[in-house]
Amino acid sequence: MAAKPQVRNAQDAGSAPEARDTHPVDEVLPPLKMLTSGLQHVAAMYAGVVAPPLIVGAAVGLSGTELTFLTGASLFTAGLATFLQTLGVWKIGARLPFVNGVTFAGVAPMLAIVDTTKDKADALPVIFGAIIVAGLLGFLAAPFFSRLVRFFPPVVTGSVITLIGVSLLPVAFGWAQGPNPRADDYGSTTYLSLAGITLVVVLLLRRFTRGFLKQVAVLVGLVVGTLIAIPFGVTDFSPVTEADIVGFPSPFHFGAPQFALAAIVSMCVVMLVSMTESTADMLALGEIVERPADEKTIAAGLRADTLGSALSPLFNGFMCSAFAQNIGLVAMTRIRSRFVVACGGGFLVLMGLSPVAASLISVVPRPVLGGAGVVLFGSVAASGIQTLAKAGLEKDNNVLIVAVSLAVGIIPITKPEFYHAFPETAKIILDSGISTGCVAAVLLNLVFNHLGKRRDEDTVTAPMEPGEEISETATAKAAHVH
């Protein structure tokens, strides 16, 4: 077993005697640097926070005003969850520079809940009720889950994260075709061109710029795409003109939460995925800031995630989780102060309390969102592939786990009517590729890598062709070992 990394402070690093003992994570920076660095974190995550409420709100059929309200609520609750994670209270919060926001893992299951709810007015209350229960159960399970991380290796988390991105890409493609699938101009060259231009702008900014501008490439792409769309008459500014300057996300704005068993099970699976992803993020961030995340830190971080998720529906928000892109920002800037990220959480709260600020995203035409969504959701899938690269795919067992879990998870995307014969309550879970793929990955990992005699010596150099046997070399090695 490798030696546990030691936390370094100024004295450990051989600094001068007058250097402060404060760890960089706990350092309070000058006000101007604190504000600008916090704003940069908001810019890096903003598109990711507003995308889920836009997707779910559109599926429910919310008006522009209601969509603005839902977006503002997500910003507000993301800020509160970030406060919990960075500042902490009692045994809640990892106290690391950890940004929290609406998790993409819940989008596909929430869309499945919307599709199977007869009265769309009940869809959001059903979703909120399921999130509350899943959050509370996750909060209770946090200290135990932190000990079970070995059952969620990269082969499981990588498969699930890949499925999250793949499941969301059809949403971006639908946005690129236009706002109304029943309209005659749906999928017109005008709409697709706007989506393509936005995509190109984002790619050019990511390729040829650096620093802050590179981090906000998606946000700038949305602005440019919206401005280009104005002459085509597809930009609607009414949400901004109708929005108040100051407002508060009134509790249970869309109705009291409703508790449906199938929806609760589905969101509990999402909570499992979210906790797994957050654990991996905490381990990675701990290494980056040189304060390794131990079992106690992980448990505290998971409590913040789950409590934030349980409280979020009170203010009409969704399930919260860590934002991996902000971990990359910490690594790039080397600004490790958790108070910088807390400052970013303050910006999110202020934006959530200003309907005008939240309404700006509602102005962006759907095709423009579609172009940016290709990058946004594709990046999620790419993150999963990066995780799979560390999953030991030279082992035949892991190849099978990835192959089957991805296949099971892609069924609802490629064959939406595949489970049509099942009861409506079961379809809430089965129609979510993320839920089914996650369950498949966890179970297969248990069967192949934990139960009975392990066969780690069976390796492949590439995914097997049908009927291909394990190489004679691997068999010979196994015989030699035994």
pLDDT in tens, 222-278: 889 989 999 988 887 877 777 778 778 889 999 899 999 989 998 998 898 788 778
Structure token digits, residue 206: 């990511």
Which residue intervals of 231-322 are DSSP H helices?
238-242, 261-288, 295-311
- Residue 231 carries which side chain, given as an amino acid letter? P
- Quote the CA–CA distance of 204 and 200 in Å, as a whole number: 6
Per-residue pLDDT at 301 = 92
Bridge partners (DSSP) listed for residue 89: 92
Per-residue pLDDT at 77 = 92
- Quote the CA–CA distance of 257 and 259 in Å, as a whole number: 7
Share of the chain above pLDDT 70, in %: 85
CA distances from 137 to 93, 168, 268, 303, 409 (A): 17, 26, 8, 10, 25
478 confidence band (pLDDT: 50, 70, 90): very low
432 within 8 A of 108, measured Cβ to Cβ: yes
Per-residue pLDDT at 455 = 53
Residue 232 DSSP symbol: G
First-to-last alpha carbon distance for the chain, in angstroms, is 23
Grouping H, G, I as helix, E, B as strand and the rest as coil, residue 137 is: helix
- Quote the CA–CA distance of 43 and 263 in Å, as a whole number: 32
Q: What is the pTM of this model?
A: 0.68
Host H or E run for residue 428: helix 424-430
pLDDT in tens, 185-218: 888 999 999 999 999 998 998 889 887 677 677 7
- Quote the CA–CA distance of 186 and 196 in Å, as a whole number: 15
Per-residue pLDDT at 328 = 62
CA-nearest of 284, 275, 274 to 96 is 284
206 within 8 A of 214, measured Cβ to Cβ: yes
CA dihedral 230, 232, 238, 239 (to 10 degrees): -70
- Quote the CA–CA distance of 28 and 284 in Å, as a whole number: 22
Task: Round the average pLDDT of the chain to a whole number and report it.
Answer: 80
Phi, psi of 100 (to 5 degrees): -115, 145
Share of the chain above pLDDT 90, in %: 23
Report whether pLDDT(62) > 70. Answer: yes
Grouping H, G, I as helix, E, B as strand and the rest as coil, residue 466 is: coil
- Quote the CA–CA distance of 60 and 345 in Å, as a whole number: 28
- Quote the CA–CA distance of 324 and 194 in Å, as a whole number: 28
Bridge partners (DSSP) listed for residue 101: 321
pLDDT in tens, 301-351: 999 999 999 999 999 999 988 876 677 667 666 778 899 899 989 989 988
316 within 8 A of 101, measured Cβ to Cβ: no
How many alpha carbons fall within 13 Å on the CB side of residue 340? 25
